[in-house]
Amino acid sequence: MRRIAVAVMLCAVVLCATAALAEEFAPVLEQTDKAKINWTDGFVEATGQAVAPSDKSGTGQGKLLARRGAIVDLQRNLLEFVQGVKVNAETTMQDFMANDYVKTEVHGTIKNVEVVDSSWDGEIYTVVGRIRLGDLRKAVTPALPTQPTPKKEPAPVKGKSTGLVLDVRHLPLIPAMTFRVVDEKGKVLYSLDFVDRERFLASGLCEYQTNMNYATGVPRVTDKPTVIKAKSLVGPNNVDIVISNSDAAKIPGGYDYRIPCRVVVVKR
């Protein structure tokens, strides 16, 4: 009986550890039935499917044509999804694609989609492909109302904060490519104005995570980040983050971690 109790306890420990691990590495996702954006790992992924022409069924040429059709479907689904990605609190990628440069760059990125998986069941060819958020940032940046400019990253100050972790798990935050952090009076504390252009293009304005314990230890902000709980969001779009005036006084805290975008946002 005692052995059974011990075994049950061990199983419970393993299950709890497994659940914690799954939560620790759960990415921030937005998805539809055909596509998704992984804000944590920085990519948009979609699926495409097609069948062989009826007169080519069961042939090698039919399989090849089905693959080509699946990739076209993949690109179509990517474009449809990407158009809805929020660039900031007011606009989406579709708004910016009215700009010919942005439109050309986005279409070029989608045309060169990386196929990460494919399968053929004899009738339907299925492909899964990804494009990087970094490529979308490069496409849209020249058209942004406020553009990040080249800045020199300061040297870290010993004993000072090495980054910022914003806790918004209690609020319905909507992820976006750019956002603002403001105090209760509306003073902007973090936005594109504060960051280095190359850092923004390479890694974005922040890293989105879902687990607070994990977020405070990621390389982006280690080893002594300032942790601040958001007070509210700027409605009605819930993209920009409001912190208290007392917490605002902690930013940047001796070393301007805003320039290299050393910011993590934790949301559910």
Instruction: Let me know whether 122 and 193 are in one domain.
Output: no
pLDDT band at 2 (very low <50, low <70, confident <90, very high): low
Instruction: Let me know whether 181 and 260 are in one domain.
Output: yes
Q: What pLDDT was estimated at residue 55?
A: 87
More confident residue, 245 or 9: 245
Q: What pLDDT was estimated at residue 253?
A: 84
Instruction: Let me know whether 65 and 108 are in one domain.
Output: yes
pLDDT band at 146 (very low <50, low <70, confident <90, very high): very high
How confident is the model over 113-127, as a mean pLDDT? 97
Q: pLDDT digits over 213-242, tens only?
A: 999 999 999 889 999 999 999 999 999 999
Residue 226 counted as domain residue: yes
CA torsion angle for 220, 225, 229, 230 (degrees, to 10)?
Answer: -50
10 pLDDT more than 50: no
Structural domains in the chain (count): 2
Which own/partner pairs from 117-121 qualify as long-range (CB within 8 Å, at least 24 positions apart)? 118/67, 118/70, 120/63, 120/66, 120/67
Instruction: Let me know whether 191 and 252 are in one domain.
Output: yes
Residue 253 counted as domain residue: yes
Q: Give the SS3 label for residue 119.
A: strand
Residue 122 counted as domain residue: yes
Dihedral sign, Cα of residue 23, residue 134, residue 231, residue 229? positive
**Domain span at 44:** 29-143
Cα 71 from Cα 77, distance rounded (Å): 10
Instruction: Let me know whether 175 and 115 are in one domain.
Output: no
- Angle, to 10 degrees, between the axis of helix 100-111 and the axis of helix 60-82? 140
Q: What pLDDT was estimated at residue 93?
A: 98
How confident is the model over 102-119, as a mean pLDDT? 98
Q: pLDDT digits over 122-133, tens only?
A: 999 999 999 999
Residue 34 counted as domain residue: yes
CB 260 within 8 A of CB 199: yes
User: What φ, ψ does residue 259 adopt, rounded to 5°?
Assistant: -60, -50
Which own/partner pairs from 199-204 qualify as long-range (CB within 8 Å, at least 24 positions apart)? 199/153, 199/259, 199/260, 199/261, 200/137, 200/141, 200/148, 200/261, 201/134, 201/137, 201/138, 201/141, 202/134, 203/42, 203/134, 203/261, 204/42, 204/133, 204/134, 204/137, 204/177, 204/261
Paired tokens of 72? 């076209």
12 pLDDT more than 60: no
Cα 124 from Cα 140, distance rounded (Å): 35
Q: What pLDDT was estimated at residue 156?
A: 87
Instruction: Let me know whether 37 and 96 are in one domain.
Output: yes
pLDDT band at 19 (very low <50, low <70, confident <90, very high): very low
Residue 198 counted as domain residue: yes
Q: pLDDT digits over 197-209, tens only?
A: 999 999 999 999 9
Residue 3 counted as domain residue: no
How confident is the model over 153-162, as a mean pLDDT? 91
Instruction: Let me know whether 139 and 183 are in one domain.
Output: no
